[in-house]
Amino acid sequence: MNMSDETNHDNDQWWLAALPRMIVWSRLRVLDSGVAEVFDCDGRINVYESEDVARAALMDAEFRALDGMDAEDAEVWGLDLEELEPPRAEDDDTLRERMVQPVKNPLTGRD
């Protein structure tokens, strides 16, 4: 299995963007070489020369790091931090299908 097929690594960082009633995820992975890869919701792996450059690109696209988010940050986006969980899958092809998730309507509790 190659690196891109293993979807869960200790050094993965999950980023999210909130759209109306949708959450879009991106996975930032820093390789041993220092090169950073961002797996996006379209299944593309975008390669950046460093983690800092990748983070800047994600922030420019209005993504936020999940590990840096607190309950107040999530609330601004209309999200419950405790309910935010990055997608999981056996491989990147399956993961791609889970990178966009509906947000539950706070009034009904349904998507």
> pLDDT tens digits for 9-54?
667 999 999 988 899 999 999 999 999 999 999 999 999 999 999 9
CA distance 82 to 35: 31
* Concatenated DSSP letters of 8-46: --TTEEEEEEEETTEEEEEEEEE-TTS-EEEE-TTS-EE
| 108 pLDDT higher than 70 | no
